[in-house]
Structure 1
Amino acid sequence: MADTPLLSVQNLTKHFPARNGRIVHAVEDVSFDVRRGATVGLVGESGSGKTTAGRSVLRLVEPTSGKAIFDGVDLFGLGAREMLAYRRRLQIVFQDPFSSLNPRMRISAIIGEALDTCGYPRGRARAERVAELLNLVGLSPDYATRFPHEFSGGQRQRIGIARAIAVEPEFIVADEPVSALDVSVQAQVLNLLGDLRKKLGLTMLFIAHDLSVVEYLCDEVVVMYLGRVMERGPSRQVYAAPRHPYTKALLATAPVPDPTRRRTRVPLQGDIPSPIAPPSGCVFRTRCPSAAPACSTTIPPVEPVGGGHHVACIRQAELFA
């Protein structure tokens, strides 16, 4: 893989207006890189801002500030017409396979609609391309004449993946693509995404709240909490030696497939605060078992701790001394 990232997200911020002039701080000063051919996992609890970050990168929601440098071009600086030229290169797989497919359209039309955006010819060539895509995602070409309600959740998600790869993108945001599926089906879809990544040379931003999923699929992980990055780095390093109390808490709640392996549980009390009124200083301090008085006044920068591993915690040095 090349050292130069295909995507470099720099200081991404997204605010939404709320009632009475208040602001929802959905994403705040988030930065990370995605190397060409790699898969980066964006993880955190519900309300952490990970989906908003992913959609902001694609400009499905307009960012408040920051940059998203894709192959040398800042996507946030492009006009609507200029951005349209990049839509083919960046695609998304949505979380809910039930609501992301038009129930009134046949599968051939759903996938064909994506092909229309790149001027793919109609007729026999279109039908052959749809059949090829269905084969790629492990479905029979005969399914092209059916409607979405005739499929299971896992099959619908495969159709959504076929639609995303139809235009031969370079980069895909997979927004919790297995969270709505049965556990028995999740592994099949994850294996499919891994196979397609190798076969098609895809680069992926994989959004999830399940850390075991991210550990299986992703080369690097970015842990978010209340709109901010808490920790990021190579997956193996972060999972083997987490440096942020929040990452440790998430890992403590993740299932362990090995019955002989034990993790020390870290207390994580309360609910995630409102993004309308985030805590001062470190946003995690109100739930952190290691919080100190300084945590209420200092916003910790995301700093390197070695080997591409970065942590946002003013106490991490003493905690891991």
Structure 2
Amino acid sequence: MIEADSTNETLLSVRNLVKKFQVGKSVVQAVSDVSFDVRRGRTTGIVGESGSGKTTIGRCIMRLVEPTEGEAIFEGEDLFKASGKRLRALRKRLQFIFQDPYSSLNPKMKVADIIGEAIDTHRIAKGAARRQMIGDLLERVGLDRDHDRRFPHEFSGGQRQRIGIARALAVQPDLIVADEPISALDVSVQAQILNLLQSLQNELGLTTVFISHDLTVVEYLCDDVVVLYLGRVMESGRAEDIYGNPRHPYTRALLSSSPLPDPERRRERIVLKGDIPSPISPPSGCVFRTRCPDAIEACAAVVPPIEEVGSNHVVACIRHRELPAWSPARNLMKETP
């Protein structure tokens, strides 16, 4: 697990998180013994393929789904044990940005009521002060103040996501969980929303858990990265270490498939064989071994422990010491005409 940096206070510490779902007669373990820290004022990226458990982790943190085991220590208090009035009070400090801006806004409510709902629930402002606050929030996310009189169907997807961001900011939260907030948007709009999130991070000092399947997006926005595969942490650390010195074969494979800004260069691609296994019947030992280009027989027998490989940099791979050095610079090739 990543320990808190001496210069950054840990706001949220997730430890040994397990989430199981009952699917018919089978039990699906969507998240298996996941631990990581979220440092105040920084953005922590949780990245992995579809089915890796990243959205489930975000929803467990928010208590939108109930965790099976583990703890989430938020400023000394376990979120997973809170209930009743205490849970409602904590939810004021934790906000969620949903993946789909079309279904996450009530179509029967005007924007003023969508944003104002949380303000009213937590008794933050009334009357003129409430209207002023809603207008300020709309302007902060790049919309006009008079947009508060419109309904969601009158906006584009990107504008709806801006409304969702304004709603999350309305209660001045300590932590925001953003679940793939650009994946449902047109490519031309995605960069605008990323730039908005980056700007808000810089202006407000937000602490964010950013969930994504795209390592390129995570590299742009995140300070720390947790790489997941089939509900387990494969590697985690500071972004500069994950991108500059990846130690897990899965991280290297994800990076090798990321596009480069230089059209004349491409990465040496690491192709993963097969599909991600079913969480109903995961592989023995290392869950990544069935697709790993570096797997050996022992990988089927041993669940790799989390090992520290640098300051705040950990990896779960029994072969990480044997793998050749890897860096983005040495894995670039010129495009052949």
Q: Give the shorter-chain TM-score range.
A: over 0.9
Number of aligned residue pairs: give it.
320
Q: Name the residue aligned to 1:319.
A: 323
Matched ranges for 1:118-267 at <5 A: 118-267=122-271
Distance 1:117 1:47 in 2: 34
| Counterparts of 1:242 and 1:259, CA distance in 2 | 23
Q: Which residue of 2 aligns with 1:9?
A: 14
- Are the aligned partners of 2:42 and 2:205 in contact in 1 as well (CA < 8 Å)? no
The aligned counterpart of 1:39 is 43
Aligned to 1:298: 302
Please report how far the alpha carbon of residue 260 of structure 1 lies from its aligned counterpart in structure 2 after TM superposition: 3.9
Q: Give, in whole Å, the separation in 1 of the partners of 2:72 and 2:44.
A: 15
- Structure 1 stretches of 4+ moved >2 Å: 1-4, 120-123, 259-262
Deviation, structure 1 residue 80: 2.8
Note the C-alpha offset of 1:195: 1.2
Counterpart of 2:100 in structure 1 is 96
Q: CA RMSD in A?
A: 1.2
* CA distance, structure 2, for counterparts of residue 293 and residue 35 of structure 1: 38
For 2:321, what is the secondary structure of its paired residue? helix
Aligned residue identity for 2:102: F
SS in 1 for 2:158: helix
CA positional deviation for 1:81: 2.3
1:116 paired with 2:158, answer no
Say which is worse superposed, 253-262 or 150-159, in terms of deviation. Answer: 253-262
Equivalents in 2 of 1:120, 1:73: separation in Å? 23
2:81 to 53, 77, 82: 77
Q: Quick one: which of 55, 67, 79 aligns to 2:59?
A: 55
User: What do the CA deviations read for 1:151-172 (whole angstroms, capped 9, x no partner)?
Assistant: 1110000000000000000100
TM-score, normalised to structure 1's length? 0.97
Deviation (angstroms), 1:320: 3.5
Deviation, structure 1 residue 189 = 0.6
Structure 2 length normalisation: TM-score?
0.93
Task: Judge conservation of contact 1:243–1:320 (CA < 8 Å) in 2.
Answer: no
Counterpart contact for 2:16–2:35, Cα < 8 Å: yes
**Aligned equivalents of 1:64, 1:183: Cα separation in 2:** 37
**Secondary structure of residue in 1 paired with 2:137:** helix
For residues 98 and 164 of structure 2, the distance between their equivalents in structure 1, rounded to whole angstroms, comes to 8
For the residues of structure 1 that align with 2:130 and 2:224, how far apart are their CA atoms? 37
Deviation for aligned residue 1:250: 0.8
Give the conservation status (yes or no) of the 8 Å contact 1:170–1:201: no
Residue deviations 1:65-118 (CA, integer Å, cap 9, x gap): 111011111111212321111011110100000000001111011001111121
| In structure 2, C-alpha distance between the alignment counterparts of 1:31 and 1:287, rounded to whole Å | 24
Q: Quickly say closer, same or farther: Cα 1:237–1:260, change in 2 above 3 A.
A: farther
Aligned residues of 2:259 and 2:266 also touching (Cα < 8 A): no
Which residue in 2 is equivalent to 1:273?
277
* Structure-2 separation of matches of 1:117 and 1:110: 12
Rounded to whole Å, the distance in 2 between the matches of 1:109 and 1:225 is 39
Deviation at 1:262, TM superposition (A): 3.0
- Identical columns (%): 64
- Show CA shifts across 1:237-259 (max 9, x none): 11112111111111111111122
Please give the secondary structure, in 2, of the residue aligned with 1:285: coil
Gaps of 5+ in 2: 326-337
2:234 maps to amino acid: M
Could you give the per-residue CA deviations for residues 30-89 of structure 1, whole angstroms, max 9, x where no partner exists?
000011101000000000000000110111111001110111111112123211110111
The answer for unaligned runs of 5 or more in structure 1 is: none
Quote the offset at 1:269 in angstroms.
1.3
